[in-house]
Chains A and B, each alone.
Chain A
Amino acid sequence: MVYRIKGSIKDDMNRPLSDLVVEIYDKDVINDDLIGIIKSEDGNFEFTYNTKSFKKGFEILEKGPDLYLVIKDKHGILYKSEVRSNASKDEVFDIIIKQMYEDPYSDSLTKIINAFSNLGDTIERDRIDPEKVIPQMIRMISSWAYYTKEEVMHSIGYDGPQVPRYAKRVEHEHKIPWRIR
């Protein structure tokens, strides 16, 4: 009997992903059998196989294969599908590979500490007037701590940012209230 697997691989922005390795397995009690390997093209893949591919001599009890897919790129595994027990003749897998996105604004504090340690290497201690520098530092730290808070800005009449902090995650309009005079 001829079995067929087809499907699509997209990222979470619905863009097709090509050149990924799709490995098709039959889950068994002891060792899972590799049924076949194909590559995705324009985000699609298709593979046909027959009963021999998954029924080894003593596996007479097995009806359809217990299918699962492993998707890899050149660096390793990106995705493992669920196992479909007793898979039918035609199985369709529509796979979305979610990316682990970083928060671009995290680690600001570490960056600031790094910045000060870099700065330390580039100053001439004898040329620095502590009476002037210390108030400046206090002003910098307190201003950073205080005036970067939106409630504080608003309380003194500063309009503050006009877009959401994570603008990419939220639908938002581009409107500037004071532009219409």
Chain B
Amino acid sequence: MNKIFGLENIEKRKEAYEVIREDILEEADVCVIGSGAAGAIIASKLARNGLSVVLLEKGGYYDAEDMNQREADMIPLLWKNNGAIFTDDLRIVIVQGECLGGSTVINDAVCFATPKIIRDEWRRLGVNISDDEWDKAIDEVWRSINVSKVTYEELNKNNLLLKKGCELKGYKGSENYRNCKECMQCGFCHLGCHYETKQDMLVTYIRAALHEPNARIKIYCNCTAEEITHSNGIVDGINGKFIDKLNNVRFNIRVNAKVVVISAGAIASSLLLMKNGIAISKAGKGLSLHPAGHLIAKFDEEINAHQGIPMSYTCHEFGVTNGRYGGFLIEGIFLPIFQFAMGLPTFLVEHAKMMEDLKYYAMAGVLVRDQSNGNIELVNGKAKIHYEISELDLKTASEGLSRLAEIWFDLGAKEVITEHIDMPRLKSKEDIPIFVDTILKNPKGINFASAHPQGGNRMGEDSSTCVVDSHCKVHDFNNLFVCDASVFPTSVGVNPQITIMALAVMTADHILNNWSSFSSINKKRLAKVCTLEQTMYCSKDRLEMLFNTEKGKGIEKIVNSGSWSFDEESMMIYNDKHWRGFFPQDASHNIIRYFGGFWKRFYREDNTIKGITHAYEPNIDAPNIAELRDDLILLKYTSPEYSIFYDLLKMVSDDVILGKAFIGLPPHGIHILTFSMCRRYSIEFMSEDDHETIYQSAKVPEEDALIGRWNGRLVSDSILTPVTHTFTFKKGDKLSMEYLFANLLRGESSIEITKKELKLYDFTNWNDEVRMVNEKFMIGKYCSPSFDIKLEHLPSFLDIEEINGRKRLVLRYILEKSIY
């Protein structure tokens, strides 16, 4: 059923909505990450053409009536990181939307078809899209989002002034095209449209897909994609998390998909590729921002620029829309009051004084078509944006600002307010050349803002320099696409939404036309989500729920055969020596989590099924007897010291048993614990015995395969240890390894690769012995020197190993290749 899912429960949703209360495992033809200008179109088009689509959105779902025109409410709700995204020098603020519909919900609805000279330039840079293809896609978008030209009557006084100024100067200019139907002219476009007149993705493409009876679309909000799982150039899905508004991870999601499309927006799309080691050394390069400066002009008469459509007129004279390659657009703009206050150059008393003249201000911005001088660096999983404005761009910006200042003075402005720290006010036309000099002398003194980050995953046919090809498919991948502003080879020079949407239309059509080449991909993973097959990932409540609703499958198959195997392909252990026990993920006692593992083994004796419950810590073997009661198995403890306990078990599949432990006499015992037991579990849940068996058959790692960061987790019979240490291998002249233990102790180990294993020596007299299972997984031991002392009792994760008749202590661990 077509529906939106999310963590928040807000009243009176316009669309069918369900609150998520558990992990999600999805199968879909296509998984689209991001619901903005590109993602929504791709998801909607594919879903309406017969493919099943899962659309993930990091932000929440809010409909028009939630958008209340208040900055204090709307900025935290709709803007990415509350609007606090800056370049690493804090000079340029970058505004992006983070909600269902993405930036289309908070933009000014300005529509420019991709300019002719940009299409030509991109073709020269290796983008294989003809004018016909552009025109067809733009035409489709134009109709779908109801683009129309602003009428003269819709121009507010601010934009009328700019129009008049352009006419006085003889500059080419025109009313904007906007995706708005019967605009209310409230002026709050940046805060979402309360009246639903703005034709953003939410009310156009997303709604169309949700209401199309034959479409198959599920939209998950508050959901962030973390990992793109792939091998040999074939992606099989994504792993993600549901994160609530206070930054807590609530649930996990796994989507198995035949095609994955990343449309997370410029910056975030590059970040996701970088996190996953895809397009290394290409992703994140060549970011452009359209840095925009503005000038506020003070007039004697009331302008009331906040009333009416903020952006409705553009001066094209110096921009790409008038055939100029570099250049700039001058666009009429006004901001809601907090954002406007941020744009005034003073502070405290003087600032308050300037704000009192609000009604008398006119405002316009200069959008610079910049070079692609930015790059994105991955720091702690976040994007650090480095951007230097080039000399040429600075000249363009200063020319733009000086032209605009002239316009304002020609129209009779009393003063012009700038954003330069050294020259916040221009009193007359004579100040303009000084202002230009000031900008060029101290470029760091001026603030710019960006609402159009672009580039980072450059499009082009040359796979050595470009991330995606002309169909937005990632080079060297069969079924991974990136489609959003991040693929622009150079900055587009106009407000980018139509160009992004046109690319999305073309990408969706390409996927549909070539579906037969994707449809055969059929690799599925369970990932780390709670399902009936993987009860080790389930919470207490979820286990309880499964116990109550699943039907028991009798008792016959409970008996253990003693067999054991490990499948390297799926990294799953099949262990039928006994049933390995798992506590719920949210088991409250750390003691249980780290020390209290258990197993149960069942065997047949005469006509009864008997069992042994083994706890590792303390080391106990308690005999059981099992009896079937309806679809439940009553497990009694037969020895006197444990006879006050009993368990109720339910075998829900051949490899999974759900259980509840009680103290007292059946059926009136007190429920003390819910647990599950599995025969089949993923390698990370291995026991110490499993560890040793797999270690014995693992290979000696090769030097090159080691390079990168490996996350280590201790293996214990009680499972569930967090990451305890990381090993980072680097290769300069020779291989080196830096370890970090408990995020505290850092150092370098010396490396020796013997015929048997990789040996690492730190500053202690213990050493590591490591072997490799596959390119993403290694298995190791931290071993003490041999000794002869007899030890009675050890914590469960510390093992004793006998080698050549002498004993040593062993700390067992696994190493997983980090995606960072």
Contacts and interface: CB of A to CB of B under 8 A. Distances in A.
B422 to A, nearest CB: 10
A33 B34 CA distance: 51
Q: Which of A107, A116, A132, A160 has the most CB of B within 10 A?
A: A132
A165 B10 contact: no
A122 B379 contact: yes
A121 interface: yes
Interface string A138-181: 11101110111000010011111111111111000010101100
B135 interface: no
Contact of A114 (B11, B246, B386, B541): B246
Given A104-B77, A147-B338, A174-B184, A168 B545 contact: no
Contacts of B82: 111-112, 114-115
B68 A178 contact: no
Interface in B672-718: none
Interface stretch (A2-10, A48-56, A84-92, A94-102): A94-102
Contacts of A124: 88-89, 384, 386
Interface in B559-594: none
A71 B69 CA distance: 39
B8 A115 contact: no
B149 to A, nearest CB: 18
Contacts of B444: 129, 132
How extensive is the interface on chain B, given as a class? 35 or more
A139 B351 contact: yes
Contacts of A148: 70-72, 337-338
Contacts of B21: 75
A105 B84 contact: no
A146 B12 CA distance: 31
Contact of A102 (B10, B247, B308, B549): B10
A13 B342 CA distance: 41
B383 interface: yes
Nearest to B376: A122
Interface string B136-156: 000000000000000000000
A159 B187 CA distance: 10
Contacts of A140: 342
Interface stretch (B207-215, B354-362, B790-798): B354-362
B76 A111 contact: yes
A133 interface: yes
A118 B545 contact: no
B445 interface: yes
Contacts of B76: 105, 107-108, 111-112, 115
A118 to B, nearest CB: 6
A124 B88 CA distance: 5
B69 A163 contact: yes
Interface string A12-55: 01000000000000000000000000000000000000000000
A161 B187 CA distance: 10
B348 to A, nearest CB: 7
Contacts of A128: 89-90
A118 B338 CA distance: 22
A60 interface: no
Given A114-B247, A157-B359, A144 B195 contact: no
Contacts of A76: 541, 545
A66 to B, nearest CB: 23
A147 B195 CA distance: 24
B348 A122 contact: no
A121 B341 contact: no
Contact of B337 (A105, A107, A158, A165): A158
A147 B77 CA distance: 18
A161 B68 contact: yes
B417 to A, nearest CB: 14
A167 B304 CA distance: 25
B349 to A, nearest CB: 11
Contact of A100 (B9, B81, B380, B447): B9
Contacts of A129: 89, 444
B66 interface: yes
A19 to B, nearest CB: 12
A57 interface: no
Contacts of B73: 104-105, 108, 165
Interface string A61-77: 00000000000001110
A173 B194 CA distance: 12
A136 to B, nearest CB: 8
A138 B358 contact: no
Given A143-B338, A147-B337, A121 B380 contact: yes
Contacts of A144: 72, 338
Interface string B1-45: 000000011111000000001100000000000000000000000
B421 interface: yes
A126 B448 CA distance: 20
A179 B380 contact: no
Contacts of B351: 139, 142-143
B342 A143 contact: yes
B789 to A, nearest CB: 47
A35 to B, nearest CB: 19
B341 A139 contact: yes
B90 A143 contact: no
Nearest to B185: A179
B307 interface: yes
A123 B306 CA distance: 33
A119 interface: yes
Interface in B79-105: 81-86, 88-90
Contacts of B447: 136
A10 to B, nearest CB: 15
B719 interface: no
Nearest to A134: B347
B66 A178 contact: no
Contacts of B194: 162-163, 167, 174
B421 A115 contact: no
A116 to B, nearest CB: 6
A161 B186 CA distance: 9
B385 A174 contact: no
B70 A123 contact: no
A80 B83 CA distance: 44
A143 B341 contact: yes
B131 interface: no
B184 A119 contact: no
B65 interface: yes
Contacts of B549: 74
Contacts of B421: 132
A139 B348 CA distance: 7
A118 B382 contact: yes
Nearest to B384: A122
Contacts of A167: 65-66, 68, 194
Nearest to B11: A101
Given A115-B84, A118-B84, A156-B358, A165 B68 contact: yes
Given A138-B347, A156-B355, A122 B72 contact: no
B435 interface: no
A178 B304 contact: yes
Q: Which of B70, B83, B188, B447 has the most CB of A within 10 A?
A: B70
11 contacts: A101-B11, A111-B245, A122-B382, A129-B89, A132-B421, A133-B90, A138-B348, A156-B355, A158-B358, A159-B306, A161-B69
Interface of B: 8-12, 21-22, 60, 62, 65-66, 68-73, 76-77, 81-86, 88-90, 184-186, 188, 194-195, 245-247, 304, 306-308, 337-338, 341-342, 344, 346-348, 351-352, 355-356, 358-359, 379-380, 382-386, 421, 444-445, 447, 541, 545, 549
Given A115-B82, A143-B338, A156-B356, 17 more contacts: A74-B545, A75-B22, A99-B11, A101-B10, A102-B9, A104-B8, A108-B73, A114-B82, A122-B86, A122-B383, A123-B90, A128-B90, A136-B90, A148-B70, A156-B358, A166-B68, A167-B68
In the A-B complex, the 9 residue pairs with the smallest Cβ-Cβ separation, listed nearest first, are A161-B69, A115-B82, A143-B341, A127-B89, A148-B72, A178-B307, A124-B88, A105-B73, A101-B11
